[in-house]
Amino acid sequence: MTTSIRPTAAESGAGATARFKTDKSVGAAGTSSDRVDQLAREVIEAVHATIRKHKVTYAEYNAVKAWLIKMGESSEWPLFLDVWIEHVVEQVATENRKGNKGTIEGPYYVPDSPECGSHGVVPMRENEPGTPLTWTGRITSTDGSVIEGAKLELWHADDDGLYSQFASGIPEWNLRGTFTADTEGRFEIRTVRPAPYQIPTDGACGQLISAAGWHAWRPAHLHVKVSAPGHELLTAQLYFPDDVHNDDDIASAVKPELILDPQTSQDGSSQTVSYDFVLDPASA
Ligand code: DHB
Ligand code: FE
């Protein structure tokens, strides 16, 4: 039995920062100078307006300065941005979609996870803790047709709320796998239920959370990226109906359409769930 170690905020942040820097899809945004001028000016002016409205003091200004410095030193920017900002970017980016709702990616996606076929078990340890979960579903296009070669990448936290590759003592690809839909668009995934996830509380994000009297919890969730030739990439998370943090997710990422309806086996030892995906054709 391996023992996993909960990462510190700095370890988690450093891992998320290193992973982000390898992201092939991150490049120049092609934003014009006029648009940079407008966006940067409006963000700065919104900060000015808040300072004037609340008569922010020098002591508070310096506390924020120290906090921002700490945020950078502990590499926590990916954690901060994905918890408090990404959900609005996702909302704006996908507002015209007719297929499935998506939600934020978060900081812990890793591409190229092991292939698991159309019907398979996600990589996991022997005796992986947590309730076994069998998920069946189908991937189709908005016109109802099967899309050949549709892929579903799954990643999620374990029963301790920890992600492989971002906590030590966990096998590299634990609870990360890539499924390919069969000729009818179907897949079946065997995994375990993830536990709710607490964002690290010992760093700059945690300092903000405790200073503001917030909590650090995300409800338990399964992350997915569903992709297919000629279709828009769907990044989503699926949630469980019995989680107390579905209503107050620190990352504001829960949507009613993303809550699963799992059925518990007669002896209570395992669950099954059905959830399908509809992908939007890529816009020309
Ligand atoms: C964070 C962690 C997650 O697992 C997630 O889905 C979103 C955000 C975070 O720690 O920032
Ligand atoms: Fe997550």
Alpha-carbon distance values, 137 to 14, 19, 189, 260, 279 (Å): 35, 29, 9, 12, 13
> Is residue 82 within 6 Å of ligand 1 at its C-beta?
yes
* Cα-to-centroid distance, 106 and ligand 1 (Å): 5
Coil/strand/helix, residue 219? coil
At residue 196, the pLDDT reads 95
With CA atoms as reference, report the closest residue to 237 among 179, 124, 156: 156
* Beta bridge partners of residue 198, listed in sequence order: 217
* Cα-to-centroid distance, 136 and ligand 1 (Å): 25
Q: Which of 199, 209, 214, 239 to mutate to test the pocket of ligand 1 (most atoms within 8 A of CB)?
A: 199
* Cα-to-centroid distance, 52 and ligand 2 (Å): 36
Tell me the C-alpha distance between 34 and 135, whole Å: 48
Tell me the C-alpha distance between 15 and 12, whole Å: 5
Nearest ligand 1 atom to alpha carbon 106 = 7
Q: Where are the alpha helices (DSSP H) in 22-76?
A: 33-54, 58-73
With CA atoms as reference, report the closest residue to 176 among 102, 107, 82, 110: 110
Q: Are strands 176-180 and 197-198 parallel, antiparallel or unpaired?
A: unpaired
Provide φ and ψ at 86, rounded to 5°.
-55, -35
Ligand nearest the Cα of residue 16 is 1
* Cα-to-centroid distance, 238 and ligand 1 (Å): 13
At residue 284, the pLDDT reads 65
Residues 6+ away with beta carbon under 8 Å from 62: none
With CA atoms as reference, report the closest residue to 139 among 124, 154, 159: 154
Q: Locate tokens 């070669």: which residue? A: 149
Tell me the pTM.
0.96
Ligand nearest the Cα of residue 79 is 1
> Is residue 106 within 6 Å of ligand 1 at its C-beta?
yes
> Is residue 254 within 6 Å of ligand 1 at its C-beta?
no
N- to C-terminal Cα distance for the chain?
A: 51
Nearest CA to ligand 1 atom 5: 106
Ligand nearest the Cα of residue 156 is 2
> Is residue 167 within 6 Å of ligand 1 at its C-beta?
no
161, 12 contact by CB (below 8 A): no
* Cα-to-centroid distance, 245 and ligand 2 (Å): 13
Nearest CA to ligand 1 atom 1: 106
- The CA-CA-CA angle for residues 206, 47, 83, to 5°, reads 35
Ligand nearest the Cα of residue 105 is 1
Q: Render each residue's pLDDT in the chain as its tens digit; 284 residues.
A: 457 889 999 999 999 999 999 987 777 789 999 999 999 999 999 999 999 999 999 999 999 999 999 999 999 999 999 999 999 999 999 999 999 999 999 999 999 999 999 999 999 999 999 999 999 999 999 999 999 889 999 999 999 999 999 999 999 999 999 999 999 999 999 999 999 999 999 999 999 999 999 999 999 999 999 999 999 999 999 999 999 999 999 999 999 999 999 999 999 999 999 999 999 999 86
Calculate the dihedral angle through the C-alpha atoms of 182, 188, 189, 194, rounding to the nearest 10 degrees.
130
Alpha-carbon distance values, 122 to 152, 201, 248 (Å): 12, 29, 29
Q: How many CB atoms lie within 10 A of CB 204?
A: 25
